[in-house]
Amino acid sequence: MSLDVSLRHAFPGFTLDARFEAPAGVTALFGRSGSGKTTVVNALAGLLAVDHGHARINGTVLFDTETGARIPPHRRRIGYVFQEGRLFPHLTVRQNLSYGRWFAGSRVRAADGDAFARLIALLGIEALLDRRPGTLSGGEKQRVAIGRALLSFPRLLLMDEPLAALDEARKAEILPFLERLAHETEVPILYVSHSVAEVARLATTVVALENGQVVRTGTPVEVLSDPRAVPTLGIRDAGAVIRARVLRHHADGLSELETAAGPLFLPQVAAAVGTWVRVRIHAQDVILSRTAPVGLSALNILSVEVAALRMGEGPGVVVQLRAGEERLLARITRRSAEALALAPGLACHAILKSVAVAQGDVWIEGRDD
């Protein structure tokens, strides 16, 4: 599948001018609040008619202001998972799930006979079928909403910050379902988020939006390790993702992983020895040293080379580091960068405290990678 989107729409005080193409898989539409993410998905779903532009899925034109073509929203077959679930309060969970399925028509239903059973198992909502939305928790509601959208047999699934309304515990409950979904479903997903952690874990492609414009497109590894993308990601959330393989679990509660930049010791990683995982390392947790440090409490000293520097507006500098194919980001002060005379090509040591990497920053690689 491929998605081809070009939109121009003027709001009072804000203009959206976004163009991007997305391949199959999960495409994350990333940006801060007010960057125009929801406008894009609403235009695709047909909830908003844009001034100019077009959208095509696999060559099927959803709308095109040039030719005047426009499929009415209810015939677009685009599933939409809203931030707040929007389940029908007067229907049971089962009826909610069957709602879109019913409109999809008998031919589509017959073609995918046991989709219902498979999906409710995947989402873990078998026990909720006879209840009404009013009695469900936020996390349960969101899982039902995802099931309902998928059971309408969409050709594209839009998810508008499906986790934003949930607390951290509920997010942690749903994220694994989303990961499984992303790997098991054939349906391409456009996932709107302003959370770097979600994007890093779920996306195959990242489209970064800023002030209504696409500023960067690429794989999560490319975008997240690009110093120029840091302002879009938010300085506190910036951080690259590196690949690592679990070598052994030590008795003192640490796991030893192997990376292109050397060994990495992290608090107990929930993965078997030999498993490839991804680790997100926050830029602000990395310390740089030109000489190999001694007598240091930090366990991880990675050998890297400076690849690029990007001066920020304030006193900060974002340094992109290279170790083989892998990229890391470090955020330091301009003063330190000058004191160390950092320049592209310079070899140095990146220091990382083990405990700086939280459990949520380590995940097992998906099948696609």
Partner 1 sequence: MDFLSPEEWSAVGLSLRVSFWATLLSLPPGIAVAMLLARGNFPGKQLLNGIVHLPLILPPVVTGYLLLLTFGRRAPVGSFLHDAFGLVFAFRWTGAALAAGIMAFPLMVRAIRLAIEAVDPKLEQAAGTLGASRVMVFATVTLPLILPGVIAGAILAFAKAMGEFGATITFVSNIPGETQTLPSAIYAFLQVPGGETSAFRLVLVSIVVAMTALLASEWVGRAVARRIAGA
Q: Which helix (H) or strand (E) holds 300?
A: strand 300-311
Q: Is residue 325 a contact partner of residue 367, using CB atoms and an 8 Å limit?
A: no
Q: Using CB under 8 A, count the residues that bind partner 1.
A: 31
Residue 69 — left, alpha, or beta (φ > 0 → left; ψ -120 to 50 → alpha)? beta
Q: Which is nearer to partner 1, 131 or 353 (CB)?
A: 131
**Phi, psi (degrees; rounded to nearest 5) at 287:** -110, 140
Q: Is residue 241 a contact partner of residue 196, using CB atoms and an 8 Å limit?
A: no
Q: Which is nearer to partner 1, 49 or 270 (CB)?
A: 49
Q: Is residue 145 a contact partner of residue 89, using CB atoms and an 8 Å limit?
A: no
Q: Would you give the binding string for partner 1 spanning residues 59-98, x where CB under 8 A is met?
A: -------------xxxxxxxxx-x-x-x-xxx-x------
Q: Which is nearer to partner 1, 147 or 239 (CB)?
A: 147
Asked if 188 interacts with partner 1 (CB under 8 A), we say: no
Q: Which two tokens stand for residue 220?
A: 């999560």
Q: Would you give the binding string for partner 1 spanning residues 118-137, x where CB under 8 A is met?
A: -------------xxxxx--
Report in angstroms how near the CB of residue 153 gets to partner 1 at its nearest: 9
- CA–CA distance from 82 to each of 101, 154, 366 (Å)? 18, 15, 25
Q: Work out which of 36, 53, 100, 188 binds partner 1, going by CB under 8 A.
A: 100
327 beta partners: 322
Q: Work out which of 103, 121, 335, 359 binds partner 1, going by CB under 8 A.
A: 103
Report in angstroms how near the CB of residue 206 gets to partner 1 at its nearest: 24
Report in angstroms how near the CB of residue 208 gets to partner 1 at its nearest: 25
Q: CA–CA separation, 73 vs 68, rounded Å?
A: 15
Query: Residue written as tokens 């990376």?
Result: 259
- Residues 291-310 touching partner 1, rule: CB under 8 A, are none
Nearest to 183 by CA among 142, 140, 98, 122: 122
Report in angstroms how near the CB of residue 43 gets to partner 1 at its nearest: 13
Q: Would you give the binding string for partner 1 spanning residues 135-164, x where CB under 8 A is met?
A: x------------xx--x------------
Asked if 37 interacts with partner 1 (CB under 8 A), we say: no
Residue 218 — left, alpha, or beta (φ > 0 → left; ψ -120 to 50 → alpha)? left
Q: Which two tokens stand for residue 213?
A: 């414009």
Report in angstroms how near the CB of residue 152 gets to partner 1 at its nearest: 5
Please state the separation of Cα 276 from the chain's center in Å.
19
Report in angstroms how near the CB of residue 247 gets to partner 1 at its nearest: 47
Q: Which two tokens stand for residue 39?
A: 């406008």
Q: Work out which of 29, 40, 43, 45 binds partner 1, going by CB under 8 A.
A: 45
Q: Which two tokens stand for residue 292?
A: 């190999």
Q: CA–CA separation, 117 vs 107, rounded Å?
A: 18
Asked if 46 interacts with partner 1 (CB under 8 A), we say: yes
Q: Which is nearer to partner 1, 94 or 353 (CB)?
A: 94
- Residues 232-271 touching partner 1, rule: CB under 8 A, are none
Report in angstroms how near the CB of residue 221 gets to partner 1 at its nearest: 32
Q: Enumerate binding residues for partner 1 (CB under 8 A).
A: 45-47, 72-80, 82, 84, 86, 88-90, 92, 99-100, 103-104, 131-135, 148-149, 152
